[in-house]
Amino acid sequence: KNQVEQSPQSLIILEGKNCTLQCNYTVSPFSNLRWYKQDTGRGPVSLTIMTFSENTKSNGRYTATLDADTKQSSLHITASQLSDSASYICVVSAVDGNKLVFGAGTILRVKS
Amino acid sequence: KAGVTQTPRYLIKTRGQQVTLSCSPISGHRSVSWYQQTPGQGLQFLFEYFSETQRNKGNFPGRFSGRQFSNSRSEMNVSTLELGDSALYLCASSLLWGGDEKLFFGSGTQLSVL
């Protein structure tokens, strides 16, 4: 069964600190993996999209890594800001059927 | 360039009623997909339309239906509403259809069924 699991479920960090969010998937055959940021009351916004051959992709203070062998991805946030408080969703695309499989998300709260 | 527009922003309905949600994609985008988001289930794929044809469908009952018009605007209809249909309904647009396309989401329609 195609699944995407994210950890932790929620996280609280102090402003300025770094954090790493995890995503494990069992989707096969794999096409790409995406990270989205969703602010409260808004739709998700794409942060990164990685294909099988890419193992790192950055978008400002956000850096995503992908290990296609172990089927794991991480999203690292550097020097966190209050505006980073949001839900971060990992999404994996399967080649077969062109369908997206969504993780449940990690809720990040950055405190001052 | 205007983003994806969803209307209405909020809706309150009672059980048994039906509802129609609207989505206007980014200009030039020809694919629109719909998603249901609830605190317990997260985001779940409903269906995807491209050139007025449904290309993909998720695992939802037939009470959930949609359509796409020639200008790429899309509507989603839910008939015989149930309490469990209360959710944030998101639509996303992309240039083409399929799992490799970058999605641009609207802010959603928050549906409450009483």
B104, B4 contact by CB (below 8 A): yes
B9-56 pLDDT, tens digit per residue, is 999 999 999 999 999 999 999 999 999 999 878 899 999 999 999 988
Please, what's the b/e burial string for A70-80 (b: 16 or more CB within 10 A of its CB; e: otherwise)? Answer: ebebbbebeeb
A93 and B100 in contact by Cβ < 8 A?
yes
A49 and B102 in contact by Cβ < 8 A?
yes
> How many C-alpha atoms does B75 have within 13 Å on its Cβ side?
7
Question: Both tokens of residue A87?
Answer: 């839900």
A1-27 pLDDT, tens digit per residue, is 789 999 999 999 999 999 999 999 998
In B, which residues are within 8 Å of A31 by CB distance? 99-100
Those residues whose C-beta lies under 8 Å from the C-beta of residue A53, and which sit 6 or more positions away, are none
Question: Across A1-112, where does the E strand assignment appear?
Answer: 4-7, 10-14, 19-25, 30-38, 45-51, 56-59, 62-67, 72-77, 86-94, 100-102, 106-111
A66-112 pLDDT, tens digit per residue, is 999 999 999 999 999 999 999 999 999 887 656 788 999 999 999 99
B66: β partners? B76
Q: Work out the average pLDDT over A43-62.
A: 94
Alpha carbons A83 and A102: distance in angstroms, whole number: 23
Nearest to A94 among B55, B99, B107 (CB): B99
Alpha carbons B25 and B96: distance in angstroms, whole number: 12
Spatial strand order in the sheet of B5-7? B5-7, B19-24, B74-78, B64-68
Q: Is B58 on the interface with A (CB under 8 A)?
A: yes
In A, which residues are within 8 Å of B100 by CB distance? 31-32, 93
